[in-house]
Each structure stands twice: as C-alpha cells, then as structure tokens.
Structure 1
C-alpha cells in the first residue's frame, strides 16, 4: 500500500510539474515571438513583401487575425485548448491538430526507428567495449564515441549528403519523394531510400551517450563482487554476460534513451531541416519563421508532452532500478 501511495503522489507531482512546464514553455514562446522581427504577411507570400499592399493587406491582416495583440492570440489559443482544440493555423489555413497529425507521421517513423536502432547498436557496442576495456580496439572506439558525441547533427547530415548523395550518388539528398511525385505513389523500398540518410544522421547523434554510459556500467558490474564470485565458481563468460551483465545494464541504457527524448526531438528538427524532410520538425521551423502563433503553440505543447512522457518513464524505471538494487 505504501508503494502505491508513493507512486500516486509521484504521479500527482508529475502532473503539477507538467502544467508548470507547459506554462513556462508558452511564456517563453510568447516572449520570443514578441521580440521576433519576422513579418507574417511577407512569410505568407514566401518572402515577397510586395505581393499585397493597401486595403488588400489590411483585409488579409484581419483575416489572418494578425490585428490581435500577442496576448490576445495567447488567450485565443487558451480558449481553444479548453475546448479540446489547438486553434487554426494562419499560414496553412487549416486546423492545427490536422497539420500536426499529418506532419507527425513521418517524424514518428524517423524518431521511432532512430531511437530503436541507436539503443540496440549503442548498447551492443558499449557491452562489447565494457567487457574488454583495455583492448586497443575498445580504447579507439571509446575515443571515436567521444568525438561523435561532440559533433553537431547538422554537420553529420551535411557530411553524409556530400558523401552518399553527391559524390557516390547512392541516396537522394533530401525530401521524401522526387520533385512532382507524391510519397503515396512510391512503394516501401522507394520510400525507404529517402529515410536512410536522415535515419543515419539521427542515429549517429544519439548513439554516443549510450555507448559510453553502457561501457562504464558494464565495467562496474563486471568488477562487482557477485560477478567475481560467479567467475570463481566456474560460471562461463557467456553465462556471466547473459545473467549478470545484460540483466544489470540494459535498464540503465533504456533510461538514458528515454531521458534523452529532448535530444531526440531537437535532433529530429535539425535533421528534417537539413534534409528538407516533411515532418513535424520542419513544420515547427516554418511556423516560427512565418510567425504562425497557433501552430507554433500547438507543436510546442505536443513536443513538451512528448519530452515529459519520456522523462516520466525514465524516472519511473530509474526509481524501480534503485529499489531493486537496494533490495
């Protein structure tokens, strides 16, 4: 009963923290928009400030709701949120919820596969490096992981584009389909070629922390007393890896991945921008550049919920891990 009571208290505290974080995120976004020099009318016409003028411009300003102050736009978004909606996009002239649903599907595939592959590859490499940490290959790979951890994802993406798309011509440089062709007209294999480079870029930007953390955790468990005891009593190396190393290191690696949902989301935004990938990250950038307040607030809200969910699960797993360790 005490465990259930503690979990319920943690859940309530988490909800309060989520509400405060959402309010803070919207407050910061409002402040940034108030300081932004972007002209939404110019952005509406793709940077052509002379496309409309005079009475037509005033009419368009009223139609898009740009005659409202920023506070009024925030209150409008809050009213829509209370009604279970996210408002109406000024730039796309479409419901924000519909835009997020349409644009997030490609991003979900990209982030999901990137998180899964980086976890599997990062954990496997870290496990191998941690078993024999003094091996020259292990030291070299550890140094390479440190270098990868310091490289920005946009630089990795540009490097992959220059190598595989421009020099070797093995992969498309960006987009989700050829120019003038809808992605729905492509089969799975043809669509997969457009995912490979963005997926590689996002994986390489996420894999290094998992490798380094898993290596240190494997070394710690491998040098523990119970592993020494099992080794003295003739337990094979394979059995030690299976019953001791993997069992005690897989959950911390998963916690690291879940706690890094913010890096996963921000990395996806950068990757989608570099590769002109039509996902929620690119839509967020366009919303910011066009001053589309409802769309910007809606994506920010969903992004905050996404990051909070990952952090909450990571916190729960970490708490359960600490309880099992103490027992």
Structure 2
C-alpha cells in the first residue's frame, strides 16, 4: 500500500463553521483533507503546541477553545493522516493570535455641557474586546491630558476633542470630535461704586443665583488652575481660587469695604445647578478704588473687627495656594 497524501491544512478562527482570521474570542479550529492512493479511509490525528510547547490535553481535538487563547500566542498544529494499515503522513501549520484593537468612546457631563462651567469628559465607555485599556490620552484644543476622565472648563465656540485609547497589547483607537459650545451665559453691565465705606455692585443677568468673589488683586479664576491652564513657571504668580464673599438672587449686592485699597469683584452665574466659572475682565469682573473708605472705617483696634479681615484674607490666599486642584498629569509611554 501507499502512504496517504500529505494533509492539506486550513487553520484559523471558527466563525459559525467557516474558517477565518483567528482571534481570542473564537475557537481555533483546523480543517484537514487528504487522499489515499489506495482509496482507503483516512483518519486524522491532531497534536497542538502553544509557544513551542506541546499541550497534551488537546491531543486528538480538532479545535482549541477560545478560553485557552490570548493575543500574542503562537499556536501550531500537526495533523497526521493515517490509513488502516498504519501508514501515515503529516503536515504542520502555525498561527499567531492577533490583538483586537480597543474602541474609543467618551461622553460629557453635564450633557449638554454648559459653556464656561466645569465639565467632565469621561472615557469609561471605551472598551477592548480581548484585554483591557491601559492608557487614555486626550488632546483638547491642542492641550494634552491623560486619564480615563478629565475635568475641563471651555468657553463658547468650537472645541476640538481627540481621544486615543491604548490597550494592554499596544493596540490603539483614536476618535476626534468637534464640540460646539454656545455663548457663555454671564452677567453684563457689572459696575461697582463706593458710598462712604460701602461698596455697591450692580449688574444685569437672568440667573436665579449669583456668587460674588472679592480680592485685592485682579481675579482671573474662581476655581484655581484647571487642567487646560499652563502650569505657571517658577516665580510666576499662581492663579488662586477665590473665596466667595456672598450669594444672592438679586442683581445688586453691597458690603462694607474690608480694607482701604483697590478691591476686585467677580460675579458668577449658576445655570441648571452648575456655576459658570468663566471670568472675563469687563464682563463679570470689576474693580473699585476703596482707598477713600479709610476715612469712613473705624480704625480703633478695640472697635470694629473689620481690620481683622486683612490677615484673614491673607490667610485664605495662602491656604488657597496650597489647596489648588492642579490636575496631575500621569506620564505614560504610549504603546507602539
């Protein structure tokens, strides 16, 4: 008798009975065919190895269950074609299980985002079919940020948001969206005046609630540095988040000048429960020269406690500097 012909092998993923490009979500299956010159029945035997090592419990099986597969593994199968007389011939084939790329996805909260308010961009809806995502990298208006979610404050206009996710095997996916924000809803016609030792603020707005902030230097932020701000270089002033000095539902507010100097006030609006923290000089930030208030302020140490406001304010500034929420950038190498 003659040996059976060398088996022809088709090795790949089992997609409902058809063999395709393998992955770790589908069984790895082998199809074999061989002719016997003597027209005897040919029986096939299978022997599997993973990363060069024989896997005995799979001997004789035509497929490897998906639960045994991981991206990056090298599997090989040797198929023997045997006739009833013990004559045989064999052939081998191998395949590497490829990595399936992740799928990038993100959502904003609140939805829709409120221009000028803090918003959270969350990429936890991204997924990886055969592993896990290990790196999230954002580019928002050209600023690079890292992390599964990022907190940002964006003004009105068109913002370009790019998210790249990288999985544990280095596969990646990137999505880019243009997000269009409407105008920042803030107060207008904000003015400040001094009457004796009393500072009067008035403005125009349609919010149900306003927060008033005060400082002895120009106010650039009421939330400190956001993740979109460049970290100040050494020696540069750090923008401090201001303490609110009042909350009102009216469009006027007044207080006794706590110190006879130029005072700066910012007024923010609240939209759908979210504070619009955008600060624009001339719109919702104004200054008043309160040096003339010295004549009206009681400077007797045993009298009015107003002078205490100066060291307390200084203390708040110091505390603010320590408590600023600077977003920590996780420096991670990007996968290949």
Q: TM-score scaled by structure 1?
A: 0.23
Higher helix share: 1
| Higher strand proportion | 2
Relative contact order (C-alpha < 8 Å, sep 6+): which is higher? 1
| Higher CA-based Rg | 2
